Structure formats: C-alpha cells, structure tokens
Structure 1
Amino acid sequence: MLVSAPHALIIGNVPQKMNWEQLLSDARWGSSHQSTAAPQKHRSNYDRDYGRILFSSAFRRLQDKTQVFPLGRNDYVRTRLTHSLEVAHVGSSLGMLVGEWLAGKDALPAHIIPSDLATIVSTACLAHDIGNPPFGHSGEDAIETALSRHGLSHPFEGNAQGFRILTRTGDPMEGKGLKLTAAVLGAFMKYPCTQSYSLKAKQNMLAPANRLECKKFGIGGQETEAAAFVAASLGLIPRTEAEGNDLCWCRHPLAFLMEAADDICYRIADIEDGFFSRILRFDHVMELFHPFLTPSQREYAEDLAVRKEEDSCVHYMRALAIGRSIRTVVESFKVHEDRLLGGCLEKSLIDVSELAAPLDRLYQDAIRDVYQTQDVIQVEAMGYKVLGELIDFFMEWVDNPGSGQSRKVAILLQGTLLPADEESREKRLVHMLDYISGMTDSFALETYRKLTGIR
C-alpha cells in the first residue's frame, strides 16, 4: 500500500515554514551539566563546535583515509582530511555571503551576525566525512558485502555514522557525542531520515514529501532521540509522525550549503588531482574549466599555456572555478530561499544553478577518466579484501561472545561502551562497525596483516 507522507505540517490552512530565529538555535544536544568555561566575547557557541570537531580523534583520523587516489602516490593529491578542510573553507564563504544577504534584509535574529552562519556551515562541512570508513567510498560497499556473507542485510551509510559520532560515540565518557549545537547538527544532516523510511521510499511503499531528503539515510537506530532533539530545537518540518521507526524531517536550509561546498570541492579538485597525477591531459582540463572563466581570464590562462606554465595555469583555473561556483550557489540560495524554508526544494543548489551543466561534466568526466584508473581500482579492491577479512574475524565475537576466540577479540575491541555478553547481537554488531569504520587505511591494513600472518 502506498502511503503519502505529509509535505509539511499544516497549521490551520497555512503550511508551516521554518524561520531563521529557530533554525540558528544554539541549544546543545547531550549536555548534562552547566559549562564551566567562562563566556568569551568574541567566540560564539558555534566557534566552540568547530574546535570540538577539529580536536576530535575521529576528525584527526581523516588524515590517513583515502579520498580518491591512493595515499602516498604523491604528495599533492588530497586525503579525506585535506578535502574536509577545503570544504570547510568553501562552506565558510557560502555561509558568510548568505548571512550578509539575510542581514541586509533584516532576516537574521538580532543576536546573530553573518559570520555566525559562516561558522555554522563551515563546522558542518568540517565534519561532513567524519563517518566515512577506510579505503574511500567503496569502503561502505565493502562492509555491506562482507556482512551479507554472514546473512546480514545491514546497510552501512557514512552520513549516518557521522551523525552517530557527533551525537553518541564521539565522547565515550558520556555517550552523548561531541555535544554540538542544534544549528551545526542540522546543517550537517544531509539526509534527515531513518534507514527504514529511506528504504520504504525507494521501494515505493510510501510517497516521500521530498525525495532529495531520503535518497540515503542519515539517522541510525540508536540516534533517533538525538535527531528528534535537533529537529524540535530547529523547527524542522516533520514528514512523519513522531513515533515509530520511519522518521523523517525536512532538510535545514544550511545543509544545502554544506552539500554545495562538498560538491564544488570534489568535482573541481578531483579534476585538478587527476591532472597532477598525470591522468588527465592539460588541454582536456583547460576545456573543462573554460565555462567558469571570463573572456579576460581565459586569455590569461591561454597565455600561461603558451609559456608552458601548465601547473600554474591549472591552479589558476581551479581557483577561479571555485570562486565562480560559490557566487553561483549563493545566487541559487537567494532565488530559492522560500522553497528552502518551506522544505520543498527537491534539487541541490548546484543542480538549480546556471553552472549545473559544466559542474556535472566535471563529475561525469571524473567518473570516466579518473575514478576508473588502475591505482584507484586497486585501493577499492584492497578495501573489499581487508575490510571483508576483518569483519569475518570479528563476527565470531558478534555471533558467539562466550567463545575462547571471542574473549581475545573482545580485548581488541575494548572500550568503555563494549557491550556485555548478555546484551543483544545487534549491539555487538554496531560496536564492531564503529570500530572498523573508524580505522584509518594504514591501521586497517596493519591489523589485517597481523591477523592473517602476512608481513
């Protein structure tokens, strides 16, 4: 039976719209005591969030997680860490420009300044890949493939794992995550729905209000309370009733900026990395970046090419492409603000922008020419082998916690939140996935070698 999800909560005859006063709430999830930190005049609660993520071990591990190209191939290509820092920088620009525009039309609360929006978006961007497993995006599929061999249909989603880290496992002392503000968590939630809601939407068992929100899922089973707190604090429009497993809310408008910052960076940077990895020809890169340049900028780029300064030319074009994309996304935000506040924009800000076609071509060419190279495929294949073997090994503890081998495995998995033997298999499974997905590429490979006797 096809169930229609409400497009917006109706109050009287007027559809509910979100408002900036509530959307920028600095209420903190998970705080069980009053902060002892002295107020700082020039440091907002959102600035504190940025620091909490920056100094977290989960963020630090991104330095040894693959973005696209193998780590160590050369010193130029990006890791997850450098990618995240670049996304945060672009997100800051997007947030500042949107904040200045909102302030200019008196749409911001009195206590909020444009730089607060810059910090909120930048902080969400900083954390956007914090839940990704080792070995690039194929790591997610490698985990699911390995679990299926054990009869488990357990989807692994980096977005949901990231929300879990931020709201639950990031601080093992209290189990409430990094205790971030609702505004930052809302801007982080690209897919504010549970796995069951997303699955039913894909199987046409319900008609979602907005398919963009449930393309994937971003809320795990143990994080629904945190998600409900964030949604209530921010006034996100509910798509479902408050009870049950099929939960969904509309996206926070600033989550669209976080998404755009990520898309801008990886689409443009992957082309740049492809050139410096000597995969893409210079003339091909020039052609791809051509639509982002003004006539005078093209003339200067061509002059650099004539002088054989190809590396400098690619740097120049990359910078201009990012700047042009930022301005275009901000214009899209302005045009579609009402739809964003109403929760009814069903495309990304890039896809409704004037640069949709050239940015899509960057992505399509990267899929064809960059992501399918031998070095990239080797990393992905290694991910399947290494993560598969690790999951096979640790599943002994998940299935038989009282066995002799499991006692040894439990020592490897030691932590303050290690489930007791009598607790559910599901809890042990989730704990194992926390451990494996949190590994760096190097640690996963080293653990695999030790367990298999390979030197």
Structure 2
Amino acid sequence: METKIKWSDLLNEKRIKDNYKEKEKLAAEQKKKEEIMFTDENLIYDHRSEFERDYDRIMNSSSLRRLQDKAQVFPLQESDFIRTRLTHSMEVSAIARSFGVWIEKWLIEVKKELTNEDYGKIPSLLATAGLVHDLGNPPYGHFGEDVIKKWFEAYFKEKKEIDLTPAQKNDFINFDGNAQGIRILTRLQFLNDQFGINFTYGTLSVLLKYPFDSSNEYAIDNKKFGYFQQDSKIGQEIIQETVNIPDIRNPLTYFLEAADDIAYLGSDVEDGVKKKIIPWEKVFEVDIIEKNKYKIYEVYKDAIDDLKIKHDRAKNNGFPDYLLTSVQNFKVWAQGQMIREIKEVFVENYDQIMNGDFGKDEFLKKTKNAKFLRQFLKDLLGEYVFPNKEVLSLELVGDSVISDLLSIFVNNCIFDESDFENDSKPKAGKLLRMISENFIFVHLLNDDSENPAKGKKIKDLDTYSKLLLITDFISGMTDSYALDLHQKLKGVKMP
C-alpha cells in the first residue's frame, strides 16, 4: 500500500545551505568532490552518510558541551553519578540508535521499502537527533522553560504598548526548548554563515517535534510549538523537504520522543534512589509486590518475581548499595519492555503513521501494558522526587536567577536608544557587551546574505529581534554560568 509520507523524502540528506547555493556551483562542487574521492589513485574516500556527518559536526560544538552543566532533575550537583543534560542526551541517543537499527532492518527485510544501500542511515539519524534533542533547554531543566514563560506573560501584561504581533508574543509566552533547539542548529551555532551548523533536512525534521509555529491552535492550547516566528522560513522548508504535509510529524519523531521518555523515566528514578529520595525497598517490596499499588505486578508478575529473586539475593548477601543494584535491574528490565511494546505499536499502526493519521499521541501511551510501567515511573517521580526539598529549593534559586537576568537585560536593553557600539557609559551598552559576540553577529546577518548588512547595529534591530537576542543568550547559559552572572550583576560577588 502506497502511503502519503515517503521514506525517500524522510531520509533527505540535503542540507539547508544547498537550497541557497547556485545550482551550477553546487553541481561543480559535487563533481569535484567525487573526482577527488573515487579515483583509482586515491582510494581514500568519505564513507559516512550525511546523517553520520551531522553526528560528527555536533560532537565538536559548544552547544553540546554546555549540556554537561545543565540540570536533568537535580541542578548544581557535585556528584558525578547524577545525570546532567549531557549524560541524559547520550542515553537517549543510544536508545534512539537502537530503535533505528530495528526500524531499518524491518523496512528493508519485511516491508521492502528501503534497500541495502540505506543501511546505517536511520540509526545515525536517530542517534544524532537523540544527542541534540535537549540542546535548546534553558538553565535549570524544564523548570527554566516555565520561568521564562511566566516572566514574559507578566511582562507583556505590563508593557501593553510593546511593538510585537500576537504571534511574536506567543514565542515568548510559550517559550519552548524544542523550538530553541531548532534555532540553535539552524542559526546560533555559528560556523561560517547564517545557516548555523547546517544539518541535513532529514535530521532537522525528526527534531521538529511540533511542526508548526506558536500561532497554531495546538500551540496556543498546549504551549508547545516547533519554531519561532523569525525561523518560520526554515521551519517550512524542513517540512516541505521531508514530510510535506502541514502539521504532521516525521514518523521517526515518535521514536525520538519514546527514547527520551524511556531514558529519563528510568534514569531519574535511579538518581532518586541514589540520592535516597525514593525509598526503593518500600516501593519494591511493599507497594509493588504486597499491595500492587501501582497495578504493574498483576501485569508483569513473572518478570517482577524474577527481579525479586535478584533483589533478595543482593540484600541477603549484604551487597553494598543493594538498593541501587535492585533499581538498576528494574530499570533495565522496564526499558527493555517499553522498547519491545513500542515496536509493536509502530508495526500495528504503520499505515496510519505513514499517512499522517496517527495524531500526536506518544507511542508509550498506545502500548498494551508498558503504559502502566510509564505511569508507575512518572508517579514515583511525582510522589518523591519533584516535591523533594532539595529539588524545590534549587528550583526557587533557578526562578530567581532567570527572572532577575531577564529583568536586568530586557528592561535595560529594549527601550534604550543609545548607540551601544560606540558609547560604553550607558548601562545598556555594558550589558549588551556581555552577550556572546557570535549571537550578536548572527542577529545582524541578513537571511540571504553571508555578511552582516552594511552599517547595521544592534539599535537597528526591532523589539522582537532584541528580545530574541536576550532569550538566546540567557537560555543558552549553563546552570553555573547563570548563577555566577546573576551574583555579579546583583553585587553579591565581585567579577
């Protein structure tokens, strides 16, 4: 059965920059590349697919390195055991790659929709998407997103006369790390020009979790969107080059989302046990098995009984930190079960998915039994981890840091008409000099030019662009950098 969405389009190895090059120049470059790579005299050739090149490009980026100092759940940790955004992203990448290996094999050997020449593409694509899926998250985890949203909601209520369209305001009121991630990859992670790191359309499409802007009805209702108004052109390009159906996800996005859920649910619970926040002995022995509180024992009785044997053996043998070993065994089993059932959902709903009729529901919610596992892990986090005093106190710190930084930069830099580049006296000028020069340079680039507009300065940017510049800067900070800058600007710490 022929479907609306084609794998040949989804595995689009063309890059953003290719659409802006002259066709003749692009063809000449490709011919020269082939002559160099494949002559008899020169057998050294680049064996990588374009999706593997995407992976290699991002591995050397500053945006990825910053994730090592961004919180997963517990900000500003001294322990090297507790996950950061970087270690979480590495785990998501591994699970996503595993999904890709299976999908590819199934499509080639069972569905016959791909050929042997396509081997390696989907695993590489999903591994890259998994590695960068949280690139746009601000400091202090998802809580940081909420702080930015609430701050701008209050700001726009106060500044009713501000010169922004309703859609532009939605970009900030519904600030989304997914949209910021697309922005980093296509614009802010500067290499040579206005195309950012210049990923393939195929990889960007998988990362476009919500394939619409902030004015979309779903975006307004659910406070989730895929790209900012300033990035609408590239957002539409990504969709047209791959799925080519408005508001419909790339099928591989479901697997990226599932890999994210599988990774964080298991790992956040494991971290909670390690920090002695989750009483795993009580949860496992009493709540799960004796009381069947979470309704998973009746569904997975045989598997949980096997886990109980391992749990009791480690406990009775006096194994050091046996509770951590027990929860790790549980996590590995639970992740494997969720992965198996997600594959079943994909196979059973394949035609719907490939015709854009599956909707936005997560794969895990559609599983027969793994949805109960998912809910159990979410309940554990909600009951023990998120209300924990350490988590709450650090969230309050994050609220203060991000809110104050936004207040300082926005209130001083938006309405001041001083010549920031030439006058170092105004406070606005001093603050703007603290913003990354690369970010400022990118904001002064024209969309269709490799060079800044002649004579263009920050003061020439409109209000919307200035606000984006500030949110780009603040959301890109690490937890430690944001805290340090906040203390310096508030006079608590000397530079």
CA offset digits 1:46-74 (Å, max 9, x no partner): 10111122221111100000110133252
Contact 2:76 2:480 survives alignment (8 Å): no
Matched, 1:190 2:209: yes
TM-fit CA distance, 1:407:
1.5
TM-score of the aligned structures, taking structure 1 as reference length? 0.86
Report whether the alignment pairs 1:405 with 2:422: no
Query: Displacement of 1:273 after TM fit?
Result: 0.8
Change in Cα spacing, 1:175 to 1:325, as seen in structure 2 (3 Å) is same
- Aligned CA-pair RMSD: 2.4
Alignment of 1:257-296 (within 5 A): 257-286=255-284, 287=288, 293=303, 295-296=305-306
CA distance in 1, matches of 2:389, 2:259: 28
Matched position secondary structure for 2:74:
coil
Q: Could you tell me how far apart the structure 2 residues matched to 1:235 and 1:380 are?
A: 38
Separation (CA, whole Å) in 1 of partners of 2:150 and 2:194: 29
- Given that 1:129 and 1:159 are in contact with CA atoms closer than 8 Å, whether structure 2 keeps it comes out as yes
Distance across 2 between alignment mates of 1:55 and 1:118: 20
Question: Percent identity, aligned pairs only?
Answer: 30
Give the structure with higher Rg (CA).
2
Aligned residue type for 1:253: P
Shift of 1:303: 2.4
- State whether residues 107 and 114 of structure 2, in contact with CA within 8 Å, keep that contact through their aligned partners in structure 1: no
Change (3 A) 1:341 1:409: same
Separation of aligned partners in 2, 1:101 and 1:130: 30
Q: Distance in 1 between matches of 2:94 and 2:463?
A: 41
The residue number in structure 2 matching 1:256 is: 254
1:114 offset after TM fit, Å?
4.1
Structure 2 letter corresponding to 1:30: K
Q: Structure 1 residue aligned with 2:484, among 436, 443, 446? A: 446
Aligned residue for 1:178?
Answer: 197
Describe how 1:96-111 pairs up with structure 2 within 5 A: 96-110=101-115
Query: Quick one: structure 1 residues 122 and 285, their matched pair in 2 at CA, closer, same or farther if it must change by over 3 Å?
Result: farther
1:348 lines up with 2:362 in the alignment: yes
The match for 2:127 among 108, 122, 126 is 122
Match among 471, 474, 495 for residue 433 of structure 1: 471
Query: Quick one: which of 317, 332, 335 aligns to 1:322?
Result: 335
Q: What is the aligned residue count?
A: 421
Tell me: CA distance 1:285–1:318, structure 2 relative to 1, closer, same or farther (3 Å).
Answer: farther
Match of 1:381? 396
- 3-state SS of the aligned residue for 1:68? coil
Matches within 5 A, 1:47-196: 47-110=52-115, 112-151=117-156, 153=169, 154-155=172-173, 156-171=175-190, 173-196=192-215
Instruction: Flag structure 1 segments of 5+ consecutive residues without an equivalent.
Output: 1-13, 203-213, 239-248
Letter in 1 for 2:213: T
AA at the equivalent of 1:353: T
Q: Residue 183 of structure 2 aligns to a residue in which SS?
A: helix
CA 1:215 to 1:454, structure 2 compared with 1: closer, same or farther past 3 Å?
closer
Paired with 1:112 and 1:189, the residues of 2 have a C-alpha distance of: 26
C-alpha offsets along residues 239-293 of structure 1, whole Å, 9 cap, x if unaligned? xxxxxxxxxx200000000000000011111111110010111224533786663
Q: Which amino acid aligns with 2:121?
A: D
- Name the CA distance, whole Å, in 2 between partners of 1:27 and 1:417: 23
Separation (CA, whole Å) in 1 of partners of 2:96 and 2:201: 18
Q: CA deviation at 1:164?
A: 0.7
Q: Residue type matched to 1:428 in 2?
A: K
Q: What residue is the counterpart of 1:7 in the other structure?
A: none
SS in structure 2 of the partner of residue 196 of structure 1: coil
- Distance apart, 1:416 and its partner CA: 1.4
- Tell me by how many angstroms 1:171 deviates: 1.8
Conserved 8 A contact 1:401-1:407: no
Residues 316 and 442 of structure 1, relative CA distance in 2, 3 Å threshold: same
- Quick one: structure 1 residues 55 and 285, their matched pair in 2 at CA, closer, same or farther if it must change by over 3 Å? farther
Task: Indicate how the Cα distance of structure 1 residues 198 and 55 shifts in structure 2: closer, same or farther if over 3 A, else same.
Answer: farther
Cα distance in 2, alignment partners of residues 348 and 85 from structure 1? 21
Q: Residues 90-126 of structure 1: CA distance to partner in whole angstroms, max 9, x if unpaired?
A: 1011111111111112433336434321111111111
Q: Give the corresponding residue for 2:41.
A: none
Unaligned runs of 5+ in 2: 38-44, 160-168, 289-293, 420-425, 445-456
Contact 1:91 1:121 in 2 (8 A): yes
Alpha carbons of structure 1 residues 298 and 330: separation in structure 2 relative to 1, 3 Å? farther
What TM-score do you get using the length of structure 2 for normalisation?
0.80
**Residue 112 to residue 254, structure 1, CA distance change in 2 (3 Å):** farther
Separation in 2, partners of 1:313, 1:218 = 39
The CA distance in 2 between the partners of 1:60 and 1:332, in whole Å, is 35
